Amino acid sequence: MTGQTSAIMAVRDPDVRLMLRVRDRGDEAAFAELVARFQHRLVGILNHIVGNKDEAEDLAQEVFLRVFRTRAKYTPKAKFSTWLFTIANNLALNALRDRQRKKHLPLELRDSGSLVYWPHVPLAAHRDAPPTQNLQQQELADVVRRAMDDLNERQRVAVVLNKFEDMGYAEIAEVMGLTAKAVKSLLCRAREKLREALQAYIYMDGDPPAAPAEE
């Protein structure tokens, strides 16, 4: 898509229009509307990335503040959400790096790409355990969380955007400042890693474990 086409398309996006009202008129109602519209998605995504709800909220708030502060520089290129998640991506990665610096994680953990301090039990140990049938939902959530934390930060962001925002490779590439090709291999490695970590928790020929209840 050419720059012109995407800018033209962008103006069809109601969120872009709201943002333009914020940019051009400092429109408070429009900004409030954007916060209302995106708070759920943003907090949800950031929580999946940083693995901590309070921190996710703080970051989401920072994202909105950043949106407001840099409103004058806003140029609609694609969907508004792409821009929003670009800011979120930068802030989340910074936060994770800060955390890493503060925690002084042992070298082997840093090497594994994990940025969250977590009592490190190798997941492979579970492989011989019986499959997940009896595993409580909470335990399963913990296991999945841990597998996510074992991805490196970029892999995790890409996976979260792909899975929970349903973003295609091109859009993820835009958010993360990568090429679509780089996203493709990033996601491939991430998925492969998740497969290794979670292999023991899936059924291959029976029914999968009961889906979690909504909310």
Partner 1 sequence: MPTPTEPELPDDDLVAYLDGELDAADAHAIESKLAADDEARQKAERLQKTFDLLDYLPKSEPSPNFASRTLTQIYPAAEAAPPTSSSALPAPVVTTSGQALPPQPASAAGWKIVAWAVALLLTTGGGYFFHLLARPHLEKLVPAKRASEEVRLLERLPLLLGADDFDFVKQLEHADFFAEADPDDIGGRAITEIWTSTELEQMEDLFKQFPLSRQQQLRRLDEELSAQEPDRQLHLMAVLERYAIWLDRLPDNYRKEVLTAPAAVERLDVIRVVKSRLWREGLPLVVRDRIQQAEGPARETLVAERKQQDAKRKLLWDVARQDWASIRTDRRPWPFENEVLTRQVEEYVTKVLRPRLTNAERADLEQVRKEVDNNPDWFKWFLYGNFITRLSDLHPMYPEAATGKVVKTANDLPKAFLNQMAKNGGSARRQLNNHPASGKWPDFAEAVWKEANELKVPIPSSVNLGPNKSAEYVPAVREYVENELPKRLAKAERDDLKKLEAGTWPDHSRKVIELARKYDLTVPGVSLPGEPSKWDQVYRNRGGRR
Per rule CB under 8 A, is residue 156 in the interface with partner 1? no
CB 36 to partner 1: min, Å: 6
- Exactly one of 107, 108, 206, 211 binds partner 1 (CB under 8 A); that residue is 211
**Host H or E run for residue 79:** none
Considering only residues 37 to 56 of the shown chain, the ones binding partner 1 according to CB under 8 A are 39-40, 42-44, 47-48, 53, 56
- Measured distance CA(200)–CA(144) in Å, rounded: 11
Size of the site for partner 1 (CB under 8 A): 77
Per rule CB under 8 A, is residue 21 in the interface with partner 1? yes
Q: Alpha-carbon dihedral of residues 66, 71, 74, 78, nearest 10 degrees?
A: 70
- Exactly one of 92, 161, 162, 176 binds partner 1 (CB under 8 A); that residue is 162
CB 84 to partner 1: min, Å: 13
Per rule CB under 8 A, is residue 82 in the interface with partner 1? no
- Exactly one of 99, 110, 120, 145 binds partner 1 (CB under 8 A); that residue is 145
In the block, which residue shows the tokens 């349903």?
A: 166
DSSP string, 80-132: HHHHHHHHHHHHHHHHHHHHHHHHT--HHHHHTT--S------GGGGGGS--G
The amino acid that residue 2 corresponds to is T
CB 116 to partner 1: min, Å: 14
